[in-house]
């Protein structure tokens, strides 16, 4: 028990020393204006690099990710067809597809799929 405690203490001391050493060695000593500015063909930027993003684009991206995951869930259904009962498989797949279609209808009804108004 004493051996394990002393080994754990030594490991913590060595890891703390390594973290402190890495932190002190990684600091920049000279701050250069040209190196800290964003690179834009050698010219100073005229506007802010932080432009607001379109919420429409974000919403379309989230919808795409949701339907992408749903397709990844649909693909194994064809493999499980051979190892399951046809009635159970068809009922589960129909319920899953119905949920997908209801979600698509809701997004379409809310106007989320229209890019420009």
| Per-residue DSSP letter, 1 | -
54-96 residue pLDDT tens: 777 888 888 888 888 888 888 888 888 888 899 998 898 899 8
What's the rounded Cα separation, in Å, for the pair 17 and 12? 9
Rounded average pLDDT over 98-110 = 87
110: tokens are 């809310």
Query: 18: pLDDT confidence band, cut at 50, 70 and 90?
Result: very high
SS3 (DSSP) at 28: coil
The CA distance from 107 to 73, in Å, is: 20
Instruction: Report yes or no on whether pTM surpasses 0.85.
Output: no
Q: How confident is the model at residue 12 (pLDDT cuts 50, 70, 90)?
A: very high
Domain ranges of the chain: 55-110
């Amino acid at each position: 028990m004493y051996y394990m405690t002393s080994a754990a203490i030594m490991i913590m001391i060595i890891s703390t020393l390594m973290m402190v050493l890495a932190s002190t060695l990684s600091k920049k000593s000279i701050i250069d204006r040209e190196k800290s500015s964003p690179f834009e063909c050698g010219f100073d930027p005229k506007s802010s690099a932080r432009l607001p993003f379109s919420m429409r684009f974000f919403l379309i991206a989230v919808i795409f990710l949701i339907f992408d995951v749903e397709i990844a869930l649909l693909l194994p259904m064809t493999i499980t067809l051979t190892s399951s009962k046809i009635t159970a498989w068809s009922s589960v797949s129909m319920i899953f597809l119905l949920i997908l279609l209801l979600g698509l209808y809701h997004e379409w009804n809310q106007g989320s799929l229209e890019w420009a108004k």
